Homo-oligomer: A and B are copies of this chain.
């Protein structure tokens, strides 16, 4: 399959987000990782909707997942398999779009097992080493047999150069595929990190999910890999919000093949972790840039909080406030709504110590609009596509940054009419 079948990845010819990156990066081959993608007709006939990844023996793997209490059968299965992992055989990852296999009862569990068994058979692996994700509509039975029937052919087609079709196969309401790359020197050995992701909202409409898959040729022990993934996740995928709605299927997996030949990383490694964070932030920002109806990319930076947790609370209260997000959509420098969001966050705050800036423009301080601030300056700033809202609580050292987008008519259109 490969390039030739990648004909209809944007559903219904939806326009690409105005905030999309100029181009999709070239995803380098990672020694030990091969991909295949195909169209099996889960929801749309001519759409590439399944991807298979194979990771060579002696690799390591780690994952982070949604904390939703109604998480999907596939997420529960991945978590159970990661917890019990042993041996040095390879891994497989199977992902389908078009159906999330969520809230599908006992049948959903059986379908995960069927897919894992079929991939295991096709690749000569135990099913305990096959990880699956499903993204798409909630509450419809997954046509698993369409996937299992295609797996032998997908296994034959596996190729080190197949990452881009794989990145496209996992898209749902995404308007562009999302990929990122980093090169980093690990103690004298050059290693590569490559990843792709999907998501168009923390949960896209019915299309449960943010998914991310990251691959590196570095040699990393499982505990160190998990620790670095979890740490980077806090400041990347966990630091973006489109609409505050958390999916039932969010999954990020990372696999490390060790083929680069670096000395085994057995504890968090500063240079590698910094490069991994770059890749994960890049992917997370692309998800925000593809936020449903988004016309503005917004960084909310909070400092001076009593604690990190308070800073995070304030940043999320601002980033998730419908009133703040609609003001941004209207290019209205409505800083009163930011004061409101700080107040409702639950964090310790003192109105009279609060400083608010739009980019470099001082807007408010000492419990009052800044003397130097003019509505004209604020209104001009708001016309930009990339905005920084900077809030200093003036109380302590707690800081946090989250990224979000505006709330527009486009969001309402997409979500009020999605299933019909």
Contact = CB atoms under 8 A, between A and B. Distances in A.
A334 B419 contact: yes
A340 B69 contact: no
Contacts of A416: 326-327, 329-330, 332, 408
A420 interface: yes
Interface string A86-109: 000000000000000011111100
Interface in A219-266: 243-248
B139 A364 contact: yes
Contacts of A320: 244
Contacts of A206: 334, 336-337
A332 B417 contact: yes
A24 interface: no
Interface in A16-57: none
A309 interface: no
Contact of A70 (B246, B340, B369): B340
A245 B321 contact: yes
A368 B336 contact: no
B69 A349 contact: yes
Contacts of A138: 336-337, 339-340
A182 interface: no
A119 interface: no
A409 B71 CA distance: 31
Contact of A352 (B105, B335, B369): B105
Nearest to A107: B368
The range of chain A's interface size is 35 or more
A322 interface: yes
B247 A326 contact: no
In the complex, the count of this chain's copies comes to 2
A205 interface: yes
Interface in A104-140: 104-107, 137-139
A85 interface: no
A314 to B, nearest CB: 9
A419 B336 CA distance: 11
A214 interface: no
Interface in A319-370: 320-323, 326-327, 329-330, 332, 334-337, 339-352, 354, 364, 366-369
Contacts of A354: 70
Nearest to A206: B336
A343 B205 contact: no
B409 A139 contact: no
Contacts of A408: 412, 416
A139 B333 CA distance: 12
B103 A339 contact: yes
A242 to B, nearest CB: 9
Given A332-B416, A416-B326, A343 B139 contact: no
Interface of A: 66, 68-71, 102-107, 137-139, 201, 203, 205-206, 208, 243-248, 320-323, 326-327, 329-330, 332, 334-337, 339-352, 354, 364, 366-369, 407-409, 411-413, 415-420
27 contacts: A69-B348, A69-B351, A70-B340, A70-B351, A70-B354, A71-B351, A103-B336, A103-B367, A104-B368, A105-B368, A138-B337, A139-B339, A244-B321, A245-B321, A245-B322, A245-B344, A248-B339, A322-B411, A326-B411, A329-B412, A332-B416, A332-B418, A332-B420, A334-B418, A408-B412, A409-B412, A409-B413
